[in-house]
Amino acid sequence: MATTTTSTTNFSDLVTQLVAARAEEELRARAVHAMPGLYVPARFVKGTNTLRYARYADLAVSTTVLTEGTAPTDDALTISSEFFTAAQYGATVAVSDLANLDSPHDLISIAAERVAYKAVRSMDTIVRDEIFSNAATSAVFGATASATLTQNTANSAVAAAGVLSGTFVKQMVARLKGANVPQFADGTYRCIIHPSQEYDLISDTAVNGWIESRKYVDNTGLLTGEIGQFAGVRFIVSSDAKVYATAGASSGNVYNALFLGPDAYTIGDSQTLQSYFVAPGGDHSDPLAQKALVGYKMRFGTLLLDEAGARYRILKTQATVSV
């Protein structure tokens, strides 16, 4: 009687396809910082490990009256070109032959699912940390009191009373507009917040005009984790939003709301996510065929696009409920 095993022809292809498919699902369902549509793709320079993004600055306004019969002075385009390199990341999960034999569960399938989740969440975390590690100080604001925002605020100065409110959201929108940060095609900005900040925002009785995402006229194009819209901002909630534990005043957690316009940062890959399955005995390190390996590998990079002006703002707050 024929038996399907991990060494059956094409079984490894099925597992790798499962990892890849689950990774695509996880990217759509869980990634917020690496969410397609939230960032601009970088252009990969063929033959190198360099990814490049070019931006053209706006031309200055003209206030000089033309002289009759005299041509005006020509303007020149200002081109800012930013580049970065990609790095490789990956991981494997090993399942022993006895565990696979004795377990009442399909451990290979479970490993494939967990590997896909790890790959996507790792990518999202790497992108998030790149953003916050390199954010321009001029684009960072902190709630130093219940109704006061201060530019370039240290975590330790973020007040316990400084929680996310409708007033703060409106101030951040004003700062984005004042810096000529464009909106997305739907006429709104985006903001990634933590569940603790979500609680304070939706609990603010002054947030008139809040629209829950389920009450949108058209809610077919919801973003990953989108909960609603207020003051021209679509809010995305994620437990992976950046948090500095016990870093604020009175040792409170500091939560970071990331307000975004388009082209705020870029992501590019020189090696798309690849999945792997090695059956027991599939390499020289497993001569007795004692374990199977499920894994992934990817090579990508990310960069904040600050050279032509930051198209993001960061708001540091504490929270009434720390999660």
For the segment 199-246, what is each residue's pLDDT rounded down to a tens digit? 999 999 877 889 898 888 787 788 889 999 999 999 999 999 999 999
Helices (H), 30-142: 97-102, 107-133
| Buried b or exposed e, range 106-119, using 16+ CB within 10 angstroms | ebbeebbbebbbbb
Contact 233, 217 (CB under 8 A): no
Q: Which two tokens stand for residue 29?
A: 């369902």
Asked if pLDDT for residue 152 goes beyond 50, the answer is yes
Asked if pLDDT for residue 1 goes beyond 50, the answer is no
Amino acid 161: pLDDT: 97
Amino acid 16: pLDDT: 56
pLDDT (tens digit per residue) in 42-57 = 777 766 777 777 777 7
Q: How many Cα atoms within 13 Å fall on the side-chain side of residue 178?
A: 8
pLDDT (tens digit per residue) in 273-313 = 778 888 888 887 888 888 888 888 988 889 898 877 899 99
Those residues whose C-beta lies under 8 Å from the C-beta of residue 21, and which sit 6 or more positions away, are 116
Provide the β-strand partners of residue 50: 85
Amino acid 30: pLDDT: 66
Amino acid 2: pLDDT: 42
Q: Which of 156, 172, 174, 176 is nearest to 164 (CA)?
A: 172
Residue 156 DSSP one-character state: G
Amino acid 3: pLDDT: 43
Q: How far apart are CA 92 and CA 274, in angstroms?
A: 12
pLDDT band at 18 (very low <50, low <70, confident <90, very high): low
Asked if pLDDT for residue 22 goes beyond 70, the answer is no
Asked if pLDDT for residue 14 goes beyond 70, the answer is no
Asked if pLDDT for residue 164 goes beyond 90, the answer is yes
Amino acid at 171: Q
Residue 96 DSSP one-character state: E
Amino acid 17: pLDDT: 56
Provide the β-strand partners of residue 95: 292
Amino acid 131: pLDDT: 94
Q: How far apart are CA 239 and CA 252, in angstroms?
A: 17
Q: Is the dihedral of CA 232, 205, 193, 131 positive or negative?
A: positive
Contact 267, 127 (CB under 8 A): yes
* 3-state percent breakdown (helix, strand, coil) of the chain, nearest 5: 25, 30, 40
Amino acid 41: pLDDT: 83
Burial class (CB in 10 A: 0-12, 13-18, 19+), 71: exposed
Among residues of the chain, what percentage have pLDDT more than 90? 42
Amino acid 186: pLDDT: 93
pLDDT (tens digit per residue) in 168-201 = 999 999 999 999 999 999 999 999 999 999 999 9
Those residues whose C-beta lies under 8 Å from the C-beta of residue 178, and which sit 6 or more positions away, are none
Q: Which two tokens stand for residue 286?
A: 């497993």
Question: 83-87, 143-147, 179-183: which range is least confident on average?
Answer: 83-87
- pTM listed for this prediction: 0.83
- In order of 31, 91, 291, the CA distances from 7 in angstroms are 33, 22, 12
Q: Which of 105, 129, 125 is nearest to 117 (CA)?
A: 125
Cross-sheet strand order for the sheet of 79-85: 43-44, 50-56, 79-85
Asked if pLDDT for residue 4 goes beyond 50, the answer is no
Contact 164, 317 (CB under 8 A): yes
Helices (H), the chain: 11-29, 97-102, 107-133, 166-178, 195-203
Question: 127-141, 158-172, 289-303: which range is least confident on average?
Answer: 289-303
Asked if pLDDT for residue 23 goes beyond 90, the answer is no
